[in-house]
Structures are given as structure tokens and as C-alpha cells.
Structure 1
Amino acid sequence: MKKATTLLAVLLLSSSLVFAQSEFKKLNQQAADAYAAKSYKSSGELYDQAFKQAKAAPTSTDLYNAACSWALAGNTTKAFQYLDKATVAGWENVAHVKQDTDLTTLHADKRWLPMLTKLQAAVAKVEANYNKPLKQQLDSIMASDQGGRMKIQEVEKKYGPNSTEMTALWKEIEVTDARNLQRITKLLDTHGWPKKSEVGNTGTQTVFLVIQHSNLPTMEKYFPMAKQAMERGDLAKSAFALLQDRLLMWQGKPQIYGSQLKGDANGKMMFHTIEDEAHVDERRAAIGMEPLASYAKRFGLEYKVPVK
């Protein structure tokens, strides 16, 4: 009887944990959707609820996203609280924090510089055994890769997508991408894909982004190296999925995870053909990607997975 009772207790506990985590994922996704819809206060509140449901510690990315929502909602206190929590949880991308326009309203606050100092100190402690010259090189590349791209929304909103200013920005991004690609391909040819243990998550993400922003021959050449990095844990599966989808699209083949969109004859955004589309959300969930309907909302699209 004791064994049966113990087993029942374990099953009940397991069931409650699964329910709690499913609630966390549901609320976390709703928070991301609210952010995409520019309902920033609702997004922040949903993140608050999600973290209360979480049985495991929220990731630094989730906490950082909550900080962005609250900053955009005008609640600077909550924004700084979540930035502090993101730092403790291991957020390491200092350059992104400095450039992120979501946090612009915090820059004049007296808590901004102390927060950056604390973040930089935490990152320095984690990076004590990193390959510092290589890490610094990758940090510089990341900052330049994202610098122009983080201006896109602001410039497009202010001047329009077909404006002279927008054309100039894209030209600036193209020049930067070409320069960064030369640096990254030289690194890959001489050093190989760097390990997280020597450059951290942001470092390996930088290599991925530059290859993702390159051209078909370059992607084909380094795709096997990226796959090896993913298999040994030095590149996130979700990042590799983006690279794989883009490569397939440029090769004229169906994508697997539905990450790539293109413009139709009228310039309207649409998904590139998806292989076995009825099961796309299952594949996305298996590697930690959000449902395709939620992803579509980021681009102002309504999407429903075809009936199986």
C-alpha cells in the first residue's frame, strides 16, 4: 500500500509540474505575442504571471524580454528589476543592451550606468577563462552587425520603406556585412567554429548571424561546420534551423521549420514553401521554437497550420 501511495504521489507531483510548465510556456508565448502587437503593458504583466508559474528558473532571455516590455510600457522600475534578474541569470550581451532601442527610455535614469557596471562585472567574471582576443573580435563584429539592423524599424517608420534614408541604411548594412563576412570566414578557415567555452553564447551566435546574413555559396560552404557546432552544443538548435531554412529556400527547396518569408509579386510577405506543413509546429516545438502562428504575428501576418 505504501508503494502504491508513493507512486500516486509521484504521479500527481509530476502531473502538476507538467501543468505548471505548460502554463508557463503558454503565458510566456502570450507575453511575446502582446509585445509583437505593441501591447507592452499587457506583455509585461503576462511575463510577470509566467514567471510565477515557472518551476524552473526563467532564462536570461525571458527575463531580458520582460525588461524590454516594461521599459516600453513606461515602468522603469520593473524594467531595471528584470535587467538585474537577467544579469544574475547569465545575460552576457552587453553590446545589445547598449544598442537596444527598447531600452532607450532608461538611458537617462540614474540606475542605467550602475546597471551596466554590474552587468559588465558579471560578464567579466564568466569570461575569465575565455579566449579574450577572439571574444573581443566577435563582440566588435556583433555590435556592427546589429547596429544598422536595430535602426531599421525606426528609419522605416520615420521615412517609409522606399525612402532615400531607408535605401542608404540598407547600403550601410550591406557594406558592414561584407566586411564582417571577410573577418568571420577567415576565422572559420583558420580556427574553425569557436566553442562556447572559449567565446560564450554571444560569440557563437555572432558567427551564426554573419553566415546567416551572407550569400548562398558561403552558406553552402560553412553549413557542415555549423551542423557540427550544433551537434556538439556550440550552436543553438533554433539558430541552426534558421540557417538550414534559409539555405533550403535559396536552393529553391521547401524549408523545414517555416522561419523564412519572402515577398510575393505585390510585395506582400508570405512564407516560403514548408515541407510537411501540417507538422511544422511539432518540429518547431522540438527545438524550442514558438508556434508558427505566433511567429507570423511578428510580421503582421495571420497564419493557421493546415489540417493534418
Structure 2
Amino acid sequence: MRSPRILLFLTIMQLIGMNVSFAQTKSISDRYLEIGNTKKAIEGYKKDYNAQISRSAKELRAYLVARAYALDGKKDSTFRYLSIAYASNNSVKVLRDPAFYYFWEGDTWNAFANNVILKSENNHGKYKDLDTSRKLWRMRAEWEVLSYNSNVAKLSGLGESSISRFFDRIKDRLQREQYVFLEHYVTENGWPKNSQLGKNATLTAAMIVYQGSKEQIEKYLPYIKESCIHNETSWYLYAYIYDRLCVYNDQPQKYGTQLVDIDGVHKGLYRVENRDKINDYRADMGLTTVEKYLLYGDDIWAAY
């Protein structure tokens, strides 16, 4: 029996780092960005940025403006707003954000990236294998930039066009390449650890498995569970991957992470094994209640 069409990674926009999941939580600017209308998105985000708000809120909104400018190809404006966004920020999320993927070359980006890493290490400690961390950050961005463009093509009415199929084929090839990289790394070093690579990198490793085949998930789910036991991977990642394997096996999910399309507009849970205890199971994994999840999403792939 074939599995129902699962909303892989919740929604594409959730994957690329925006704290939006379903219609009632998206701003007008988010909607414009989702369909590729970057100029309207910039206009809306800048209006929010120019409001009388706290410094931390202004930095967050500056980041949204920078992302929209990046997707519009405006390099100078992108870095101007990134400098504002990172005035006191020490997160490396920008280094795996697909919005900035096309600016990942040249002295301007290298200087910015090195400063971000330095600030992150000053606050969270040294990366023990920075080269691998950076490779995994880049892998995530490469996958997500393809997902974004594929989604824009579909939302623009291209549907099953040759352009949409082209993006899907590249995504399939990229997934295979990333899995080979992960397989080699695990063979040599064991499952990626937070203490070695940082949470953004280990999250990417989990994402590679999550988007993989049934056999790939079956192979690495025990590794991920063992890593969670030793606090080297977050339990909620295990919950998502465990539930995805349940879907592959046509079995009820335990943690209520997997969604299905109902009618092309509305979304609901794939069937669960125990509706009465599902929120207890989710709490054990560090997830919000299923009721909140259905309203707002977990945004588990957001940056640290």
C-alpha cells in the first residue's frame, strides 16, 4: 500500500528558516516571498523594520529584509541589513540559510562568515571539526534553495511542468550525494555529535536521513537514538524520523509529527497510535502539544 502524500519538512518556507508554517501565521510579506515576489516582500518587511520596536526586534526584522534582498539579488542591500541583523547575534543560521546561497563567494561573504563563526565560538565554544560543520551547513542550504525554487515554480502555476520536474530531479541527485557523504562520515567517525560539529550541523545530518528512503532511516535511526541518549542529538529529531519510518511501514505514528494533505488546502495528522497519550509522548521529545502544532507548526528545522 502506498503511503499518503506526506508534507515533507512541514512546509518549504518552514524549512528555509522562516517562523511561519500555516496560513494563519504567515504575514503578507511571507506570502509574497513564498511565491517569489521579492519586491513586494521587501516593501512589507522594511515597513515592519521601520516601526518603533526594540533593538532585538529590529535586528530580527533586519534579517528578514536581508533575506528578501538576497533572493532579489541585491548584494549591497543584503549585506547592509545583515550587518544590522548581526550587531549582537551569535547564531550561525545565516551560514546555512539558502537565501544567501548565491553570495557565498568573494571577500565580502568570507569576511562576514568568519566574523559570524568567531562570535559563535566566543559564545558557544570552538567547533572541533569546523570544516565538516561548514560542509553540512552548505549541504542544507543547497537542498533548501532547490526546494524554494521548486516550490515557487509550483505555486506560480507551473505544477508538473518541465521546470518543476527539473528541480525535483536535481533534488533527488543532491539527496543521494549528501547521503553518501553522511554514510562515509559515520563510518569514519560515528554519528555526528553536537559537541563536535554544533547543533546546526547535526540537525542537517538528521535532515539527510529524514528525507531518505525507508532503508536509510532503518539503518540510522538506532544511531540517532543512541546519540540522543548521550545528549549529542536532540530528541525531537528522533521523534520526526521515527514517525516517518512509521509512515513508510504503513503504521500509526507515535509522536504526531507527520502531516497529510486532506484536500489540497487543509492539513491533518497522519494516523496516530494513541491519541490520548500523544501530547505526553510529544512532551517527552521536547515538542509542543499536537493542538499547537496543527495551528502553528513545530518549526523544528529552524536555526539555533
Same fold (TM over 0.5): yes
Deviation at 1:284, TM superposition (A): 3.4
| Contact 1:100-1:150 at 8 Å conserved across structures | no
TM-score under structure 2 length normalisation: 0.64
Q: Does structure 2 retain, via aligned residues, the 8 Å contact 1:261–1:269?
A: yes
Q: Residues of 1 paired with 2:161 and 2:211: CA distance?
A: 22
CA RMSD in angstroms comes to 4.5
Q: TM-score, normalised by structure 1?
A: 0.63
Partner of 1:303 in structure 2? none
CA distances 1:233-258 after superposition (whole Å, capped 9, x unpaired): 22222222211110111122111222
Mapped to 2, the partners of 1:64 and 1:275 lie a distance apart of 43
CA 1:35–1:80 in 2, change beyond 3 Å: closer, same or farther? farther
**What SS does the aligned partner of 1:277 have?**
coil
Quick check: which has more Rg, 1 or 2? 1
Write the deviation string for residues 149-197 of structure 1: whole angstroms up to 9, x where unpaired: 2323322222433222111111110011011111111211221112222
SS in 2 for 1:262: strand
Unaligned stretches of 5+ in structure 2?
Answer: 1-18, 31-43, 70-77, 300-304
Identical-pair percentage:
15
1:122 aligns with 2:124: no
CA contact (8 A) 1:258 1:271 kept: yes
Q: Which residue of 1 aligns with 2:288?
A: 289
Give yes or no for contact 2:99–2:145 (8 Å, CA) kept in 1.
no
Aligned to 2:99: 100
Paired with 1:225 and 1:49, the residues of 2 have a C-alpha distance of 48
CA distance in 2 between counterparts of 1:264 and 1:39 reads 26
Q: Does the Cα contact within 8 Å between 1:84 and 1:115 map onto a contact in 2?
A: no
Separation in 1, partners of 2:259, 2:180: 27
Specify which structure has the bigger relative contact order, considering alpha-carbon pairs within 8 angstroms and separated by 6 or more residues. Answer: 2
Report the CA distance shift for 1:176/1:160 in structure 2 as closer, same or farther (over 3 A).
Answer: same
| Cα pair distance change 1:288/1:69, threshold 3 Å | farther
1:131 paired residue number: 129
CA distance in 2, matches of 1:207, 1:66: 29
2:229 aligned partner? 231
The separation in 2 between residues aligned to 1:170 and 1:177, in whole angstroms, is 10
Describe how 1:65-84 pairs up with structure 2 within 5 A. Answer: 67=62, 83-84=85-86
Note the C-alpha offset of 1:263: 4.5
1:93–1:34 Cα change, 3 Å: same
Contact 1:262–1:272 (8 Å) recurs in 2: yes
CA gap of 1:115–1:284, structure 2 versus 1, over 3 A, is farther
Provide closer, same or farther for how the CA distance between residues 50 and 240 of structure 1 changes in structure 2, counting only shifts above 3 A. Answer: farther
Check if 1:145 corresponds to 2:143.
yes
Alpha-carbon contact 2:136-2:201 (below 8 Å) kept: yes
Per the TM alignment, residue 67 of structure 1 is displaced from its structure 2 partner at its CA by 5.0
| Corresponding position of 1:192 | 190
Counterparts of residues 270-289 of structure 1 (less than 5 Å): 270-286=268-284, 287-289=286-288
CA distance in 2, matches of 1:255, 1:67: 39
Q: Which residue is 1:36 aligned to? A: 26
Unpaired runs of at least 5, structure 1: 1-28, 53-57, 108-112, 299-308
